[in-house]
Chains A and B, each alone.
Chain A
Amino acid sequence: METTISKPGKGIHLRRTARSREAGYSGRSRNRKPPLNEGIRPESIAYDLNGAIEEEPKTPSPAAAAFVSGAKAIVPVLLALIPFAVAFGATAMGGGLSALETLAMSVFVFAGAAQLAAIPLISAGASVTIVVLTVLVVNLRLTLYSASLAPHFRRLPLGWKGLLSYLLTDQAYAATITRFDDGETEEPDKRWYFLGVALAIWVTWQTATMLGVFLGSWASEGWSLDFVLPLIFIALAVPAIKDLTTAAAALSAGVAAVFAAALPLNLGLITAALVGVLGGLVAENVAERRRR
């Protein structure tokens, strides 16, 4: 799920309003407008939100405003996310999982590529170790996001760290890191902004998985809907090839995958992936040497 999105511009006004009002209470307000008019928009939105956040105070708060602007900023990405989750739901049903198991997987793992990659392995009767190892390899990139977000979540209590970590996805990372690094969102709004983004993704993912479950149980085998799985991965792999070195990684992984598919214990995917990473590193070294 390599989605890069442009910096969300919407909602800035909202959060500024909320913060400047806060600043107004401490007596160092810089805005010239009377605070009376400004209260209207955040208030009406925060009101709608009261049901969504547990025990959020009824008065409009910067936290609620940050949450809403995060959830709003991610909407275009949500639309792109739906086909993945639907494909997962349908593929999992086709792969022999029950509706409950399919949904449980979306809740437990909550990582599209890993979930989809696990399905053919589970159908082929691979062992627990192989499936878990494959999921580990597919999700290794999450450590990069974790490292990059860590300074921003440094001061959070462990519970918050756990919650936001569970909700960390490619999309949530892409939608927040730029504005966090640029200082556009400050603590304590960061956690709420991230929660707004990530929770919207979570709800969409689970809902669209269910949609896929229905579609999968209703579709006929003659439609070759299992072909959706490779297609989704093609749609993900192509943008992941950004330059010559990543192309070398993909090429070596692809060649290795043709031969490694025959490996016992369904070790083919992991082997091919590691060969691919190695190919990328070699290509990078060659490129660096040429430059000198």
Chain B
Amino acid sequence: MNPLVLWLTMVGAGAVTFALRLSFIALLGRIEIPPFLGRALRFVPAAVLTAVVIPLLFYENGALEASLGNERLLAGLVAALIAWRTRSVLFTLGGGMATLWTLQAMGQSL
């Protein structure tokens, strides 16, 4: 990305984020969250976070790779299991990376 465009992107992202944070703190009494939006917002974290992860696991070099030969997918599944059992970021990171390195080493030795 061209540096100027990148800076523009970052300023834009920062401004949008700040506006979201300030929204109700600044406008209290004048607007309230509509009930429907409040209900929808409850699902945003689970939906967004999953939407970020899945393509990173299922796609390799831009191609769909939904097979057991996909080391990243397997390591991701192991990491999800660790995250579920331990709720620890560090264990998830460590376990996921270790699994990926192991699978990669096994793949090279075959």
Contacts and interface: CB of A to CB of B under 8 A. Distances in A.
Interface of A: 2, 80, 83-84, 87, 96-97, 101, 104-105, 107-111, 113-114, 116-118, 120, 122-123, 125, 128, 131-132, 135-147, 149-151, 153-154, 158, 161-162, 164-166, 168, 223-224, 227-242, 245-247, 249-254, 256-258, 260-261, 268-269, 272-277, 279-281, 284
A164 B22 CA distance: 9
A282 B72 CA distance: 31
B8 to A, nearest CB: 6
Contacts of B88: 235
A250 B80 CA distance: 13
A104 B6 CA distance: 11
A141 B41 contact: yes
Interface size bracket, B side: 35 or more
Interface of B: 1, 3, 5-14, 16-18, 20-29, 32-33, 38-59, 64, 66, 72, 75-76, 79-80, 83-84, 87-90, 92-93, 96-97, 100-101, 104
Chain A contact residues, majority secondary structure? helix
Nearest to B83: A238
B72 A146 contact: no
Contacts of B46: 237, 240-242, 246-247, 249-250, 253, 276, 280
Contacts of A234: 53, 76, 79-80, 83, 92, 96
B80 to A, nearest CB: 5
Contacts of A114: 13, 17
B32 A122 contact: no
B53 A136 contact: no
Given A136-B16, A161-B22, A276-B47, 6 more contacts: A109-B17, A122-B1, A147-B23, A165-B18, A166-B21, A237-B49
A281 B46 CA distance: 12
A109 B77 CA distance: 30
Contacts of A227: 72, 75, 96-97, 100
Contact of B97 (A2, A228, A284): A228
Contact of B21 (A123, A146, A236, A250): A146
A240 B45 contact: yes
Most buried by B among A83, A151, A227, A284: A227
Which A-B residue pairs are the 6 nearest by beta carbons? A276-B47, A108-B14, A280-B43, A237-B49, A272-B51, A257-B54
Contacts of B18: 165-166
A258 B55 contact: yes
B33 A143 contact: yes
24 contacts: A2-B45, A109-B17, A113-B52, A122-B6, A128-B9, A137-B44, A139-B20, A154-B28, A168-B25, A224-B101, A230-B76, A231-B96, A234-B76, A235-B79, A235-B92, A237-B45, A237-B83, A238-B84, A246-B46, A249-B50, A250-B47, A253-B46, A258-B64, A276-B47
